[in-house]
Structure 1
Amino acid sequence: MSAPLQPALTRLRTMILDDETLVRAVASGRRRGTEPPWRRVELRYVDLKAGRHLQVTAYDDAQAHTTNHAVGEPARSALDGLLGHPFGNWHVDTTTETHQLRVTKKGEAVVHSRPRAAEQAIDRDHDRDKGRLLPEDDPVFRALGLSDHEGRMKPSRQGKYRQVEEFLRILDASITDALDKRHLRTPTAGEPLQIVDLGCGNAYLTFVTERYLSHVRGLPVYLTGIDQREQSRTHNEKIAGELGVDATFVAASIGAATPGVRPDVVLALHACDTASDDALAQAVDWEAPLILAAPCCHHDIAAQLRRQPTPGPYAMLTRDGILRERFADTLTDGLRASLLRLEGYRVDVMQFVGSQHTPRNTLLRGVRTGRRVDDGPARREYDELVEAWGVRPRLGDLLERA
């Protein structure tokens, strides 16, 4: 049930100012018709040479800005300033409880509180990684074999760690925006966000997604990972057991995927070639509110371009093999983005940091608006493009058969 906002914020203020029990507090999102100065703010206490301070890390779209405020009036003043900003969500972790406050459209507060199963330890080390969404000593990295037994990232895994961080920043912004604009429903413990990863492989990004959303953002989530290899299923179930994560892993092809729930977020990260098309088609068929897809290679359209005469005056784009391959990458993802828009998705195409296998790739982010386009300029533009280049995108065929 909703309640007056100011008394609810005052109760959170008391919890945050208790430097003996606060583990961490996070402010994010925005209230209807407002825009806070920061995309996200994290608060925790750190022990410095000058004594205990409230550390405030504020994130804009480019970087993190960290300030420290001595316990007492400086900390109270800094916190009151933040509470005065129109953030839409507050999440407060104490050693014994978790509290989630959401501001409704009417400007009231909906608060969910629950006790912790075990008392949470407090980290007041001010030297931990600055600006990292998940520190390298997080248990998820040890379970995945990325860090050693002392919690240090292995040198050979630094590239993967950077990939994880970049993905989490995109995920964080995407989830926040989708929740703010009501494209995603607000999850509860009884009805968590359903995260489905298609072609999950060894589920590196699947597990860090769960870890970040549940432990950092404080959002109830449930994982389903689908991969055609039985080896992946058994491996991922073992990791889930070690981490204490309640999840389902299925050995099946993407086309035969049946998660048993309506997915809220569909991931398709590094699905090779037309497997990305299979995943996108499934996500559209499920009417998934949020899609994050990062293809790792594009062979199908490239092969079609080799078999077709190049329309003039574009011969220079396909004459040399390396340029033809790069153009095929661009054409493939351009057509995918166009098809998703026709199916009622708002699509952003962005650069996504690659792994050692895919040093340069693209991420497609689709947010379902429900406004499907059956005719008009967008449809004609797509039809003219595929006709001019003589290609037949697999995603188009899959969506036509759906």
Structure 2
Amino acid sequence: MSSRTETLERGLAQVAEDLLAEDRLVRAVASGRRRTGTPPWRRVELRWVDLKAGRHLQVVRYDATQAHTSNHLLGDAARAEVEGLLAEPFGNWTVETTAHLLSLRVTKKGDAALHTSTRQAPVQASAEHDRAKDRMLAEDDPLFAALGLSDAQGRIKPTRRAKYRQVEDFLRILDRSVTDAIAKGHVRTPTTEDPLRVVDLGCGNGYLTFAAQRFLTERRGLPVRLTGVDVKEQSRDHNSAVAAELGIEATFVAGTIGEAVLPERPDVVLALHACDTATDDALARAVEWEAPLVLAAPCCHHDIAAQLRRGTPPAPYQAMVRDGILRERFADTLTDALRALLLRGRGYRVDVMEFVDSAHTPRNTLLRAVRTGAATTPEEYDDLVATWDLHPRLGELLGR
């Protein structure tokens, strides 16, 4: 991997060269904002597609609620579209080609911080205009049949559509997070001799565990060493059988999150729907391991909700916890806010984001933590727990 700083003009010129290379662009994403302005779209994705009228640059713009797709013919039309997008004040560009990954971040000074890494195994660029090609993992992937999500014809079962959507949305977040973390040097570039070490704490029956391994290896071409941990022996046996059936190199162990022993420090820690304080156990282990990247989707927040129910709320906030449903929702928000503050105090940059649309599952919050080493002061955390007289599990585990 190489890193350097260029003028913004030269950096964007390199991005433009990759975007307009219709034979080698796999996908590109623009996101974020600059100090000098905010782009009109939350996110933009680009790839080349073959339509009846010829090859086009497909641009998908995302606002707060939906996606807007447009197609631009190879040549002047595509070039004009690229020039227009590069003129918008996006703070980040991530570009995947058949041979390399390129990340551009606009610095506070207005320069371009460029990070480039060569793919371990070259991939093919596909320009087929097929909605299935936009999937992170195709419906007919053998993984979904092995997990019981698809039928014998490779179609996702109607009753499992929500789970498939959850898998797809998670993989999009994982894809962006791993790409960005490697490009910026927070996560090392894996090699065949030293694969990306991924551990899933509280992996259950492994839907998202296996999907992560499948996507990172098959779609991204990254070597991965996967470990799943769950307290249930049934989960270990089930997941080991699925891995053997699919020929996936993975290790599953039965035991508590707090007692899990790994041979090497993980690069990526997943904790997806670990119930209640099990999420705190997972986050504490990630901090203990100094894991560079953590993705945690909390499930249930009974601990803080029970403390709010037993305690005396500070004035004038009694109305926020008087009614059960409001107390539960407030506990959800407060718990994850406290977790984010604790992780920031341990040197992590934390994003609290939507995991999957709430229409598909109420468990739709995800904490993404990237270890940067820049720790914040803990006063805000101390003030919150003192005000509400709380004793968060993660705080106890981290000695707060």
With the shorter chain as reference, the TM-score category is 0.7 to 0.9
Q: Percent identity?
A: 57
**TM-score using structure 2 length:** 0.76
Give CA-to-partner distance per residue, 1:88-135, whole Å, 9 cap, x none.
Answer: 65442xxxxxx446689997976456599xxx9x98864443743222
SS of 2:274's equivalent in the other structure is: coil
1:152-206 per-position Cα deviation (integer Å, ceiling 9, x unaligned):
1100011111111221222222222222322111222222211110000011111
What does residue range 123-202 of structure 1 map to in structure 2 within 5 Å?
126-129=129-132, 131-202=134-205
For 1:3-402, list aligned pairs within 5 A.
25-26=26-27, 53=55, 63=67, 65=69, 67=71, 90-92=96-98, 99-100=99-100, 111-112=118-119, 114=121, 126-129=129-132, 131-353=134-356, 359-373=362-376, 376=377, 378-379=378-379, 381-400=380-399
| Aligned-residue offset at 1:318 | 1.4
Structure 2: tracts of 5 or more residues without a match: 3-13, 105-111
Deviation per residue, 1:313-347 (Å, 9 max, x gap): 11111111111111111111111111111111111
Structure 1: which 5+ residue stretches go unaligned?
3-8, 93-98
Cα distance change on mapping 1:56 and 1:214 into 2, 3 Å:
farther
Aligned partners of 1:29 and 1:176 also within 8 Å: no
Provide closer, same or farther for how the CA distance between residues 342 and 49 of structure 1 changes in structure 2, counting only shifts above 3 A: closer
Q: Distance in 1 between matches of 2:127 and 2:360?
A: 37
- Code of the residue aligned with 2:384 in structure 1: it is L
Residues 294 and 263 (structure 1), Cα distance of their counterparts in 2 relative to 1, 3 Å cut: same
How far is the alpha carbon of 1:49 from its aligned partner?
5.8
Query: Alignment RMSD, CA only?
Result: 4.0
CA distance in 2, matches of 1:110, 1:317: 49
**Deviation per residue, 1:187-231 (Å, 9 max, x gap):** 222222111100000111111111222222222222111111111
Q: Is the 8 A contact 1:100 1:218 kept in 2?
A: no
| C-alpha contact (below 8 Å) 2:55/2:73 kept by paired residues | yes
Residues 273 and 297 of structure 2 are in contact (CA less than 8 Å); yes or no, is this contact kept in structure 1? Answer: yes
Q: Aligned-pair distance for 1:42?
A: 6.9
Q: How far apart in 2 are the matches of 1:286 and 1:29?
A: 32
Amino acid at match of 1:190: E
Aligned amino acid, residue 136 of structure 2: L
Letter in 2 for 1:186: T
- d(CA) in 2 for partners of 1:208, 1:189: 20
Is the CA contact (8 Å cut-off) linking 1:339 and 1:396 kept in structure 2?
Answer: yes
Deviations 1:256-308 (A, max 9, x none): 11121211111101000010100000001011111111111011111111221
Change (3 A) 1:76 1:397: closer
d(CA) in 1 for partners of 2:132, 2:381: 46
Sort the Cα spacing of 1:41 and 1:214 in 2 relative to 1 into closer, same or farther, 3 A: farther
Query: Displacement of 1:67 after TM fit?
Result: 3.8
Counterpart contact for 2:117–2:183, Cα < 8 Å = no
In 2 relative to 1, CA 59–107 (structure 1 residues): closer, same or farther, beyond 3 Å?
same
Contact 1:304/1:391, CA 8 A, preserved across alignment? yes
Alpha carbons 1:91, 1:217 under 8 Å: kept? no
Q: 1:96: which partner in 2?
A: none
Q: Confirm or deny: 8 A CA contact 1:29 1:177 kept in the other structure.
A: no
Query: TM-score by structure 1 length?
Result: 0.76
Tell me, what secondary structure is at the counterpart of 1:135? coil
Q: Tell me if the contact between 1:26 and 1:217 (Cα under 8 Å) persists in the aligned partners.
A: no
- Helix, strand or coil for the counterpart of 1:149? coil
Does the Cα contact within 8 Å between 2:120 and 2:221 map onto a contact in 1? no
Corresponding pairs, count = 368
Inter-CA distance 329–311: structure 2 relative to 1 (3 Å threshold): same
Rounded Cα–Cα distance in structure 1 between residues aligned with 2:137 and 2:61: 14
Over 3 Å counting, the alpha-carbon distance change for 1:369 and 1:103 in structure 2 is closer
User: Which residue identity does 1:365 align to in structure 2?
Assistant: R
Q: Call closer, same or farther: CA 1:372–1:101 in 2, change over 3 Å.
A: closer
Q: How far apart, CA to CA, are the structure 1 residues paired with 2:234 and 2:310?
A: 37
Q: Measured at CA, do residues 389 and 66 of structure 1 come closer, stay the same or move farther in structure 2, by a change above 3 Å?
A: same
Please give the alpha-carbon distance, in whole angstroms, between the structure 1 residues aligned to 2:396 and 2:116. Answer: 47
Which residue type is aligned with residue 209 of structure 1? A
Gap change, CA 1:158 and 1:341, over 3 Å in 2: same
SS at match of 2:275: coil
